[in-house]
Amino acid sequence: MSAKAGIKLMCPTVPLSNGRHIPILGLGTSHFGGYSHSAVVYALRECGIRHIDTAKRYGCESQLQEAIRDSGVAREKLWITTKLWPDEYGYQTTKQACLESCRRLGVQNLDLYLMHWPDCRSPGKSNREMRAETWRALEELYDEGVCGAIGVSNFLIPHLEQLKEDCSVVPHVNQVEYHPFYRPQELVDYCKAEGIVFEGYCPLAKGEGLTHPTIIELAKKYNRTPSQICIRWSIQNGVVTIPKSTKEERILENCQVLGFSLAEDDVAILNGMHDGRHVSWDPTHIL
């Protein structure tokens, strides 16, 4: 199948604790060359992607407004996530930043708004104090309907425990690095117990998963590609998964993961590849 042909994606959703449903497969965007207008339009129009993940830090919210418009997909059919960067943490700055993200994206509200990182970079307050102050602003944005759901990214169990003690709304989502080399099962289990949906980024380990002999062998076994094996494994583990690409053929490939399943033994093999390796940020030492 050529990239231009596209597919009709029928994507399952995962329920949040507030009753909303997030598509289990989405399209991630990023900075450093991680945005392509034509690729986003293709993902929405031809592949049926309805879940877009971005962030203020990526610098492409305005471009996404154009891509969504050019795709012809109605706003109400989309799930749009963006994130708040620590430079704008704090009660007033958070509320203003959220509204500015909405303006750049050309939407009245967000489906999901995330605190991007647990380190708040505030000289006058502790990380815990600033996270709590920022989260209270997110709670108000949620109560006002500006955000359909609120959550965090790169938060570990101690960060989530503090937030639970300091605030009233438990995060609906925690978005964390997740791939065969980094499978933080204790954190996954904690989130499940607390009603927090676990969402994974970097499912291909920034390409490291595509060249691993075990993953290549599984790809041959299932007549699939290494990227499809990684994404399918993540989804079968119940993780909302957001691979990113700027190439139409890769986006099409990454979307073709819902028509097959990995055997339990093969999921176990991939689970056993965890070695604690980060390919992105490591929040372990942030208090």
182 is annotated as an active-site residue? no
* Integer CA distances (angstroms), 73 to 5, 37, 143, 254, in order: 18, 15, 27, 20
Ligand-binding annotation for 274, yes or no, is no
Among candidate residues 58, 142, 178, 182, the one labeled active-site is: 58
96 neighbors 134 (Cβ within 8 angstroms):
no
Question: What is the separation, in whole angstroms, between the first and last Cα of the chain?
Answer: 49
Give the Cα separation of 259 and 257 in Å (integer).
Answer: 6
Q: Tell me the catalytic residues.
A: 58
Going by the annotation, the residues of the binding site are 116
- Bind-site residues for substrate: 116
